[in-house]
Amino acid sequence: MKDKRKRIIPDNNGIQAKILGFLYKTRPGRKLLKVLTMPCVSKAAGYFMDSRFSQPLIKPFIKHNNINMHEYEKCKYKSFNEFFTRKIKKGYRSFSENSEDLCSPCDAKLTVYNITDNSHFMVKDTYYNIKSLLKSSKLAKYYKDGILLVFRLGVEDYHRYAYIDNGKQKKNYKIPGVLHTVHPAACNGLAVYKENTREFSILDSENFGKILMMEVGAMLVGRINNYNKETYTLRGQEKGRFEYGGSTVILALKKGTATIDEEILNNSMYGYETAVQMGSVIGKKRFS
């Protein structure tokens, strides 16, 4: 049975959009942003989210975001981060048994891009090209004319992610986040330029060639928790989890390795995201 797809319409007038607009496009917001992204402030926020003092935030968060807790293992959470990284019940995020199916690594809103010299990708409200995203000319050249799949996790989503195929994972590469003030002549004097904290590794997979899998966190402090360095992987095996502040997974596939579901491609073409779940089929292996 084909998975039911939900098209996500961008909300450019929502609360989050208004907050981001204030932080990145106004002078008071820009000053506040510099304070919020100071390492000491970010570290203090992390300590709070890990402490028992954050526990009262859990119930209102569940209610506000309509999270179905029946899907998750029953547990008394000692902190907000313990709740945020909650584990789903066995059987709720099963991967297709057909090894030729390309499956989603996580619960998310998916956008697909073609990788070209001129293409740009929106990741956590920042535009990248393939070279600036990976910080590697060699990798950018390798994945040119391939496809980039951007999985944006909402706060209501399951914040663990999995390997999409059997294979061998090579080492993890970390790219720290940065925040720059943009010169007034460039952006009306009221903007900032940012890059988010990122980690990626290459998976030599059985069915989809060399897959680049990247996790994207918040600026400066990413809260990305990957479990393995170099290891052999199994399809559907948990790769890691996001603590509060990390929320995007990216896959780069080499040209000719996979065909993406037509409905997902059409949604992406018209600027819509597609809601997917970990393990759901989003494409097929492409045979030469």
pLDDT at 13 > cutoff 60: no
Closest of 171, 251, 240 to residue 208, by C-alpha: 251
At 89-128, the pLDDT tens digits run 998 999 998 999 999 999 999 999 999 988 998 887 788 9
What pLDDT, on a 0 to 100 scale, did the predictor assign at position 1? 39
DSSP annotation string for 92-105: TTPPPS-TTEEE-S
DSSP annotation string for 110-176: EEEEE--TT--EEETTEEE-HHHHHT-HHHHHHTTTSEEEEEEPPTTS--EEE-SSSEEE---EEE-
Contact present, 197 and 222 (Cβ < 8 Å)? yes
Active-site residue flag, 42: no
HEC string of 40-51 equals HHHHHHHHHHHC
- Catalytic residue (one of 79, 205, 247, 268): 247
What pLDDT, on a 0 to 100 scale, did the predictor assign at position 185? 40
At 30-74, the pLDDT tens digits run 777 777 767 677 778 778 889 999 999 999 999 998 999 999 999
Residue 196 binned pLDDT confidence (cut-offs 50, 70, 90): confident
Contact present, 5 and 263 (Cβ < 8 Å)? yes
Residue 197 binned pLDDT confidence (cut-offs 50, 70, 90): confident
Active-site residue flag, 132: no
What pLDDT, on a 0 to 100 scale, did the predictor assign at position 131? 93
- Catalytic residue (one of 101, 107, 157, 261): 107
- How many helices (H) and strands (E) in the chain? 9, 20
Residue 46 vs residue 18, higher pLDDT: 46
What pLDDT, on a 0 to 100 scale, did the predictor assign at position 221? 52
Closest of 250, 193, 196 to residue 221, by C-alpha: 196
At 209-239, the pLDDT tens digits run 999 999 998 655 558 899 988 999 999 999 9
Domain spans of the chain? 9-285
